[in-house]
Copies of this chain bind each other. A is one copy, B any other.
Amino acid sequence: MKYSNLFEGTECEALLIIDSSEQNMDLYYLTRFFAPDAFACVITPEQSSVIVSDLEHGRACMEAKVDFVLRQIEYAQKYSDSAGNISVTMKAVISVLKEKNIRKVLVPQSFAVLYADILRAEGFELCVKQGPLVKQRMIKTADELNYIAHAVLETENVLEDALNRIACSEIRDGKLYYENTMLTAEKLKNHIAARLLERGYLSLYTIVACGEQGCDPHHQGSGPLYAHTPIIIDVFPRSLTNFYFADMTRTVVRGTPDPYVVSMFNSVARAHQAAVDKITDGVPARDVHKAVLDVFEKDGFKTGLIDNMLQGFIHSTGHGVGLDIHENPRVANVDDILTDGMVVTVEPGLYYRGFGGVRLEDLVVVTGNGAANFNRLPKQLVVAP
């Protein structure tokens, strides 16, 4: 009954996913078969199968961690097509479900409506799973922890090098110059991406946001990097071999920061430590989030609409990281409980117009003895040669 926990709270006889495992991480997690083209996966409480085209059959037999690799064409031929117009994939899925005498099928909330309508017309009963499909993904195995630890290690090496470029920059007319060339967000992002790619990691959407750009947590940053101004660098690369993510952020200033930015940074660092200190097996996520809120309140940093802009601590404290960059649990004012083996970011931040943003983010694993931090890179606001 190795897959029975997937069916908790349902009376379904099988789970069905039809998707690309490049896009659907539940499918990748359950099969460990990475394929850009869509394939079907049928899991009963006792056994798992994938149904693949002949082009993928050989590779699936070698790579997929499932009990059976079924040939799509073989099962599609068993389906007698009265309706016409049904794809080979769906014919094979229907044949497999019928052969296994399955009538009640669990599907993820993202399951394609076209397939759902076909299955219902064929008499299958679908239970649509709302929210996370594979809760087990939250609790990382030893292998997964190793993948994430290695991703963090490589990310820190590359980020340290990037921060060093800022530290070694000259200041001319208030802008940073590295090796006699103006340093821009784009150049630093390209440098980070190239160094990570050499190490087998893909970093898309890296944030290098200077000054006002840092006030919008979704702004990826562009243009010159300025002295005396906070620069947020948020990197979340993914392994090209095992597909696990790292996620970390540092905020630095080259030159002399405004005293208010210094006080923001110190408060964010305290809030970060307070959250990390709070994390342990069994702690409610909202208590960790509250530890951050308490520090900001005590330090007098307000959150809300200021000049009609949302400012202050305007996002949650953290989120799970694994095969998806944002996965469960959430570290916010929610009901999630942090338990042994969960990997979450701790990333408090403060954002104020006129000063910019400050965010510090580490990745930690929850244990019975508190949070174990994957990160080693110091948190230091002012960087200099």
Contact = CB atoms under 8 A, between A and B. Distances in A.
A258 B100 CA distance: 50
A69 B141 CA distance: 43
B126 A113 contact: yes
A206 B224 CA distance: 34
A193 B200 CA distance: 10
A208 to B, nearest CB: 15
A204 B23 contact: no
Contact of A198 (B110, B113, B126, B190): B190
Contacts of A107: 113
A197 B31 CA distance: 30
Contact of A109 (B58, B112, B310): B112
Given A23-B23, A197-B197, A202-B204, A218 B114 contact: no
Interface in A107-123: 107, 109-114, 116-117
B111 A59 contact: no
Interface string A81-117: 0000100000000000000000000010111111011
Given A111-B112, A114-B109, A197-B197, A58 B216 contact: yes
A214 interface: no
Contacts of A218: 55-56, 59
Interface in A162-217: 190, 193-194, 197-198, 202, 204-205, 216-217
A377 interface: no
Contacts of A126: 113
A383 interface: no
A61 interface: no
A305 to B, nearest CB: 11
Contacts of A130: 85, 114
A306 interface: no
A384 interface: no
A128 interface: yes
A348 to B, nearest CB: 17
Nearest to A240: B204
Contacts of A216: 58-59
A36 interface: yes
A239 to B, nearest CB: 13
Contact of A113 (B56, B85, B128, B217): B128
B205 A197 contact: no
Contacts of A56: 218
Contacts of A161: none
A112 B110 contact: yes
A156 B12 CA distance: 52
A324 to B, nearest CB: 11
A110 B310 CA distance: 35
Nearest to A314: B55
10 contacts: A109-B113, A110-B112, A111-B113, A111-B114, A112-B112, A112-B113, A113-B113, A113-B116, A116-B116, A204-B240
